[in-house]
Structure formats: C-alpha cells, structure tokens
Amino acid sequence: MPLLIEQRAIDLIKAASARLATAKAMSFAAGVDVEYPSKIGPPLAYPVRYDVAMQRFRKVLIS
C-alpha cells in the first residue's frame, strides 16, 4: 500500500532538509512533559527543557 503524502508536504520536507544540510550551526530548545506513575492516583507530570546546540562537524551539545 503506497503512502499518501501530499506533494506540498514533501516539498516542505525537502526544503527544510536542504536548509539544514547547509547550516554551519544550529540551536533550539525542546520542551517535553514526562509522566511518572503515582501511588496516590493520577500520574505526576514534570516539564523538562532540553537546550540543544549543534556545530558542524560532528559536534553536539545537549544540556
């Protein structure tokens, strides 16, 4: 069964990939919520922030 992906979505992904491929450096912040089971009922949710910085070639810093 072939994947049904709109051409516009494919074009956006290709453009973003091309731009990232030429980038010499990049940084971004990612926020996630991590849930842990709780003994008293609803799970506990903790927000976590990851600051990511990348510089070519093969240098990655995640803090």
Answer yes or no: is 1 within a domain. Answer: no
Give exposure, 19-55, as e/b (b: 16+ Cβ within 10 Å).
eeeeeeeeeeeeeeeeeeeeeeeeeeeeeeeeeeebe
**Which structural domain range is residue 46 located in?**
7-62
Answer yes or no: is 2 within a domain. Answer: no
Answer yes or no: is 39 within a domain. Answer: yes
pLDDT digits 0-9 by tens, 29-46? 999 999 999 999 999 999
> What average pLDDT does range 16-38 have in this prediction?
90
Answer yes or no: is 47 within a domain. Answer: yes
Answer yes or no: is 23 within a domain. Answer: yes
Beta bridge partners of 46: 34
Q: Rounded CA gap, 24 and 18, in Å?
A: 12
Q: What is the pLDDT of residue 12?
A: 94
Q: What is the mean pLDDT of the chain?
A: 86
What is the count of structural domains for the chain?
1
Q: What is the pLDDT of residue 55?
A: 80
Q: Rounded CA gap, 49 and 47, in Å?
A: 7
14 against 21, higher pLDDT: 14
Its pTM stands at 0.51
Q: What is the pLDDT of residue 5?
A: 81
Answer yes or no: is 16 within a domain. Answer: yes
